[in-house]
Amino acid sequence: MKRSRFSDEQIIGILKEHQAGMSAADLCRKYGVSDATFH
């Protein structure tokens, strides 16, 4: 299995930002991931 660039805690934080109202496109740009990876 491929190792993730982000820890579990970081992923949870990113998802909480999305839940708080930040758009997926902005989060992808901020953290350098593709839109497909985010979804």
2 domain residue, yes or no: no
pTM: 0.77
What separation, in Å, do the N-terminal and C-terminal C-alpha atoms of the chain show? 19
23 domain residue, yes or no: yes
Tally the domains of the chain.
1
19 domain residue, yes or no: yes
Query: What is the pLDDT at residue 5?
Result: 86
Residue 28: domain span: 8-37
Of 31, 39, 29, residue with least CA distance to 10: 31
What distance in Å separates the CA atoms of residue 7 and residue 38, rounded to the nearest whole number?
Answer: 15
Give pLDDT tens digits for 1-39: 677 888 999 999 999 999 999 999 999 999 999 988 888
| 27 close to 39: Cβ distance less than 8 angstroms | no
14 domain residue, yes or no: yes
27 domain residue, yes or no: yes
